[in-house]
Amino acid sequence: AALVLGAAGKAGLLSMVAARGRSERVLGLVPDPAGVEILRRLGFDEVVMADATDPIGSVGAAREAFDGDDGVADLVVNCVSVPGTEAASILLTREGGTVCFFSMATSFSAATLTAEGLGKDVTMVIGSGYAPNHAAMALELVRRNPALRSVLEERFGR
């Protein structure tokens, strides 16, 4: 399963849509009802509302909603644009799974120390903001998904 924190933001929406068909389950974590509604409009049923800066609350809500025990997902993508979400990301990742910290609000020292302090073996990947052909891939996702395009047009205009 793939879990996206900040799933209703720009990078989160693209991550959710890109993961569809590539992961057996695509889960989203958002901080408010508006985010839940956006993801439901895009056909995502497994969405939970929680504050990613509250690791215990996030883990409790996600485990309850997604039936997780040792973490919730094999891959967690953190697209949250506020600091203090490292612990939730690590706790929501299954032992041996991967966390992609895409947000520039991430404290990599906090992430490393949290994983060490929890004794959690996860692979941590830093999203650099650049990947070959990323713009073409993003545009293709938007072109192939009219609902995604509609959400982005509502947010940013045409």
pLDDT one-digit tens code per residue, 117-156: 999 999 999 877 678 898 999 999 999 999 999 999 999 9
Question: Does residue 25 surpass a pLDDT of 80?
Answer: yes
pTM: 0.94
Question: Does residue 8 surpass a pLDDT of 80?
Answer: yes
Question: Does residue 11 surpass a pLDDT of 90?
Answer: yes
Question: Does residue 87 surpass a pLDDT of 80?
Answer: yes
**Among residues 50, 88, 47, 95, which one has the least CA distance to residue 69?**
95
**Among residues 16, 2, 9, which one has the least CA distance to residue 76?**
2
Q: Which residue has the tokens 């609350």?
A: 57
* Strands lying side by side in the sheet with 26-30: 47-49, 26-30, 2-5, 73-78, 93-101, 123-126
Q: Round to whole Å and give the CA distance between 60 and 55.
A: 8
| Pairing of β 73-78 and β 93-101 | parallel
89 within 8 A of 17, measured Cβ to Cβ? no
Containing 110, the helix (H) or strand (E) segment is helix 108-118
Q: Round to whole Å and give the CA distance between 45 and 28.
A: 9
